[in-house]
């Protein structure tokens, strides 16, 4: 595709049209883990490895079951077939001296940025961290809620189409703020994954020494079930492709997970004051993930026209323009609403991962928004701030799950438990209530455990 032929054909939708809700729900389903957004290479590899065109769910089930029952040899089989034909059991763990060498070779300017970002994340994540609570509702009664950090977590870092040192910062630092002692990083055995110098240098800077060169569903299964080379973890977090998302769903219950994330999403709420160039740049920033959903909502038709024109103008200078156009054409939309109230309702229906309210009265619209993973207010709060540096994690709910799910934070690495302590006098005071319910349920041993005291 030449620069002269790059042109996005973004779908136009009218929120007042009778079939509008169905169109949005269809888009959301395509981008959810129940969809089938898989690259052409992914489909080819599926046939090569399994000899048949299995669905993503079938692929993940087979990989995870093989890793659980067979172990290292299954991990190596899939790693060799999907990523690196030369990978060995001894090569699964990235040597500590290689991690240190990457840090030694990193530029001082890059490391200075990493440290500033780390400090931003620490400030925010420590500030929102749950603290133990102790209540004394009556004499002789102490009720507590304790928060205990998980001991060991695994972090998935993508490394297929791009390198993501930012993901290490946005997952590991919140875990460290919570007090997690052991952190294991898994990334594909590729130059953009586990062998990426920038990613490794960030690991060293954060004090992480466990990095494994394995990606995809086999990495998730290895973290969940454990193999001799990789000790099992308590929780698995971090982004990835559809296979990683489905694998996390498959192992959930054996271990905890953060979310079942799909492709990246942004909704931009725009009005007549929106700078079309700013809005277009945010649309493109998500679309270049490819796949990524980029949606603009406005009650001003002229601003939708201006943003679309700016998208096509800026496309010409992007390195990943062809992939970005494909993503815009498949998952982009320009939505015209009746007014700002309808625009907010449409936003709540979409429940986007990222919401940018790029209007003059951005904060006044915030109370009308119920569903979004992260919200960016005003003309000078681009989504990239959240992706890289502001402090909240960039691991956020996608595929409409922001209706009920939350973005990753330090609190997701804590396990809560209650503590109940009664004196003899306090037990005598509450005993009749316990006895009454135990009698109703016919649980005489429950009743007796109170009465006997």
Instruction: Just list the catalytic residues.
Output: 353-354
DSSP 8-state secondary structure symbol assigned to residue 93: B
Name residues whose C-beta falls within 8 Å of residue 73's C-beta, 6 or more positions apart in sequence: none
- The helix (run of H) or strand (run of E) holding residue 261 is none
Name residues whose C-beta falls within 8 Å of residue 162's C-beta, 6 or more positions apart in sequence: 192
b/e per residue 158-169 (b: at least 16 CB within 10 A): bbbeebbbbbbb
φ/ψ region of 197 (left if φ > 0, alpha if ψ in -120 to 50, else beta) reads alpha
DSSP 8-state secondary structure symbol assigned to residue 94: P
Write out the two tokens for 391: 């402090």
Name residues whose C-beta falls within 8 Å of residue 276's C-beta, 6 or more positions apart in sequence: 303, 306, 307, 309, 310
φ/ψ region of 117 (left if φ > 0, alpha if ψ in -120 to 50, else beta) reads alpha
CA nearest to 284, candidates 246, 317, 311, 316? 311
Write out the two tokens for 371: 């569903």
Please give the biggest Cα pair distance in the chain. 86
CA gap 238, 92 in Å, rounded:
19
Write out the two tokens for 182: 């052991």
Helices (H), 293-423: 301-315, 321-331, 340-350, 362-365, 383-388
Name residues whose C-beta falls within 8 Å of residue 391's C-beta, 6 or more positions apart in sequence: 120, 121, 123, 124, 125
- The helix (run of H) or strand (run of E) holding residue 216 is helix 216-225
């Amino acid at each position: 595709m030449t620069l002269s032929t790059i042109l996005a054909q973004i779908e136009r939708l009218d929120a007042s049209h009778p079939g509008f809700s169905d169109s949005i729900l269809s888009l959301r389903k395509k981008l959810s883990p129940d969809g089938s957004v898989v690259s052409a290479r992914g489909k080819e590899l599926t046939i090569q490895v399994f000899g048949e065109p299995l669905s993503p769910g079938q692929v993940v089930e087979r990989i995870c079951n093989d890793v659980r029952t067979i172990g290292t040899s299954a991990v190596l089989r899939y790693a060799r077939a999907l990523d690196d034909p030369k990978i060995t059991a001894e090569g699964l763990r990235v040597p500590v001296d290689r991690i240190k060498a990457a840090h030694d070779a990193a530029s001082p300017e890059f490391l200075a940025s990493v440290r500033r970002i780390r400090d931003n994340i620490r400030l925010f994540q420590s500030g929102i961290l749950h603290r133990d609570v102790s209540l004394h509702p009556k004499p002789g009664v102490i009720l507590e809620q304790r928060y205990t950090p998980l001991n060991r977590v695994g972090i998935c870092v993508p490394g297929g189409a791009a390198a993501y040192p930012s993901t290490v910062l946005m997952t590991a630092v919140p875990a460290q703020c919570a007090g997690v002692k052991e952190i294991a990083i898994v990334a594909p055995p590729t130059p953009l994954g586990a062998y990426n110098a920038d990613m490794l240098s960030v690991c060293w800077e954060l004090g992480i020494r466990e990095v494994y060169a394995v990606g995809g569903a086999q990495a998730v299964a290895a973290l969940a079930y454990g193999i001799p080379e990789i000790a099992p973890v308590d929780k698995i977090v971090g982004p990835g492709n559809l296979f990683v998302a489905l694998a996390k769903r498959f192992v959930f219950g054996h271990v905890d997970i953060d979310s079942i994330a799909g492709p990246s999403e942004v909704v931009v709420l725009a009005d007549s004051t929106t700078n079309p160039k700013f809005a277009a740049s945010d649309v493109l920033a998500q679309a270049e993930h490819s796949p990524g959903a980029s949606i603009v909502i406005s009650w001003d038709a002229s601003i939708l026209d201006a943003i679309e024109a700016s998208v096509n103008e800026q496309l010409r200078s992007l390195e990943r323009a062809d992939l970005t156009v494909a993503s815009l054409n498949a998952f982009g939309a320009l939505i015209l609403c009746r007014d700002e109230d309808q625009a907010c309702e449409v936003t709540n229906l979409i429940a986007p991962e990222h919401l940018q309210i790029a209007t003059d009265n951005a904060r006044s619209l915030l109370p009308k928004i119920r569903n979004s993973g992260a919200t960016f207010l005003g003309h000078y709060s681009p989504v990239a701030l959240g992706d890289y540096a502001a402090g909240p994690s960039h691991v956020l709910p996608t595929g409409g799950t922001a209706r009920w799910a939350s973005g990753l934070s330090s609190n997701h690495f804590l396990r809560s438990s209650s503590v109940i302590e009664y004196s003899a006098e306090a037990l005598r005071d509450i005993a009749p209530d316990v006895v009454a319910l135990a009698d109703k349920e016919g649980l005489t041993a429950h009743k007796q455990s109170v009465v006997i005291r």
